[in-house]
Amino acid sequence: MNREEIMEAFGEDASIIPKGKSKTTYYVEHEKKLKPRTENTPNNIGTSDKIMEIAVGRGNRIYKTPLQFAIAVKGFETWCIKKNVAPSYAGLAYYLNISKDTLIKYTHDKTEYVCYNLVDNETGEYIYSTNDKGKLDKYINSNYLVEGEIKHINYVKSNKIPMCKVTPVKDKVNKNEYSTEVCTITFASILAPVKNLLEMVNISKAETARNPAWHIFLAKNNFGETTQYVDQVQQQISVSNPLDEMNDDEILKAVEARPDNN
């Protein structure tokens, strides 16, 4: 529809609204102004990128071992601080780009996996970890460590060749400077520190909240470890028999004390 048709239909050019003559809807007129950003407002967390990762098949990853899962979860707390997001199960699922249902399943997965570690006996630092014993042996037999300061020697004025001392990892093991240890881990144990973090955050916020109702509700729902929040109180009712807690003498006295039915 062109302007001439608009003029004929409406008697005026409705595509042009004179300044100061526009009317607002009831909703816009009575709606409060948007609240400004505060220190509690989350930063841009990149939802568009997450959506595209899923669209191209890079989301909803399945972790084969708890060690692989731990490497992925490791940066969650730093991400929460950077993005100004309160830690939560929903937040962790978002960070990993998996569904919350999948994350909840990991919290209950207590299947044990063997983990092989190479440890510095002096510092206690973990040098290398894997779920494959063959990979650990290969690492020990084929890797070298650079020790000391890297120095540059001038063989030709225009070239500097780096020189440094290297030590085979195997020598470290043979000298008992490094040792191997074997342990068992589960997906549930990897998530235990996250559970503790969420509970600590909830307690801290509840102590300073004017109305801690939400934090109490969250605690009732296992601090968000659920796919469906509910507000209910569970009560267990059991029928007790007083005879169960009486000895033989007390039972005899109780029988003798009964009134004669005759």
Model pLDDT for residues 93-126, shown as the tens digit of each residue: 999 999 899 999 999 999 999 999 999 999 999 8
| Residue 213 and residue 163 share a domain | no
The DSSP code for 161 is E
The confidence band for 240, taking pLDDT boundaries of 50, 70 and 90, is low
Number of domains, the chain: 2
Contact by Cβ (8 Å): 209, 215: yes
| Residue 212 and residue 93 share a domain | yes
| Residue 107 and residue 35 share a domain | yes
Q: Is residue 23 part of a domain?
A: no
| Residue 191 and residue 100 share a domain | yes
Residue with tokens 């004390």: 257
Helix (H) or strand (E) holding 160: strand 159-168
| Residue 117 and residue 221 share a domain | no
Report the range of poorest mean pLDDT among 117-131, 166-180, 216-230, 234-248: 234-248
User: Looking at 168, 185, 202, which one is the last position of a domain?
Assistant: 185
The span from the CA of 215 to the CA of 91, in Å, is: 17
Residue with tokens 């589960």: 186
Q: Is residue 2 part of a domain?
A: no
Q: 40 versus 56: which is more confidently predicted? A: 56
Residues 141, 173, 164, CA angle at the centre, nearest 5°? 70
- What mean pLDDT is reported for the chain? 80
The DSSP code for 242 is G
Q: Put the strands of the sheet holding 113-120 in their side by side order.
A: 126-130, 113-120, 178-185
Q: Range of 162's domain?
A: 113-185
Q: Is residue 36 part of a domain?
A: yes
